[in-house]
Amino acid sequence: MKEPSVIFFDIDGTLLDHDKKLPPSTKEAIFTLKEQGHIVAIATGRAPFMFEDLREELDIDTFISYNGQYVVLNGEVLYTNPLNIDSLEKLTAKALLNEHPVVFMDHEDMKANVPEHAYINESIKTLKIGHFPTHDPHYYKGRDLYQSLLFCPEGEEKQYVEEFDDFDFIRWHPVSVDVIPKGGSKANGINKITEKLGFPPERQYAFGDGLNDVEMLSKIENSIAMGNSVEQAKSAAKYVTKSVDEEGIVHGLKMVGLLEAQKA
């Protein structure tokens, strides 16, 4: 039997297809990995409350959420990296003047600084999570926030990038940008887990497809980009598998030898 490895999976466009469905072959592969003694973990930009059902369905209790800012190992919080609240307050004030709404996010909920906005509805609905932010413009006060969402058309985030050095801005939708602590990433979150577990680089694997996966794919020794990935992710990864809609997870696991390829 092979030594156990740890495998990190992004969610959207990786575990879930473009209809936000979990392909049956992917679910079967995940349980096969677990039966073989491997550790299966999730690495996502989503909030923990946005993928509770998926964790339950796959029986996964180790995950990196908020692009590395809230890390859980075996059901226990291992690491957190909250936003600078003073800087977030200034960013929110500037965004309000620009009519760019902001959503505040902690590990339990998300609240918008405006009652309603088309950009919020347009982007959040694509996640198909059945959970929309309600209105609380003061939600950032007195609590740790691990990510915010800034809603603006492509290119208009540049003014915030230039002014706010405490944050990184990662676009995930034509009208929405993730705001995370400067230097925070899925790769950092993975490092917290692998250090704790003592897994060497050669027994670390990661699957992803988006811009927020690029650092993870470039730093993890056995990295696999989905066939539907953005070009930056494909360039960063060691391997490129098939699309999520073409059983890309199963194909990728076979490529790297974690699942046996069927003999002809």
- Report whether 10 contacts 263 (CB < 8 A): no
Active site (annotated) includes residue 10? yes
Question: Per the residue annotation, which of 10, 12, 106, 168 is the catalytic one?
Answer: 10
Measuring CA to CA, which residue among 127, 100, 98 is closest to residue 112? 100
Hey, is 30 helix, strand or coil?
Answer: helix
CA atoms lying within 13 Å on the CB side of residue 169: 22
Are 208 and 10 in contact by the 8 Å Cβ rule? The answer is yes
Cα(236)–Cα(240) distance, integer angstroms: 10
Residue 209 near residue 233 (C-beta atoms within 8 A): yes
Kind and range of the H or E element at 34?
helix 24-35
Helix (H, G, I), strand (E, B) or coil at 239: strand
From CA 92, how far away is CA 165, in angstroms rounded?
Answer: 15
| Phi then psi dihedrals of residue 98, to 5 deg | -90, 0
Both tokens of 169, joined, read 């801005």
Q: What are the backbone dihedrals phi and psi of residue 202, each rounded to the nearest 5 degrees, phi first?
A: -70, -10
Strand order in the sheet with 70-73: 76-80, 70-73, 63-65, 39-43, 6-9, 204-208, 222-225, 239-240
82 touches 107 (CB < 8 A): no
- Residues labelled catalytic: 10
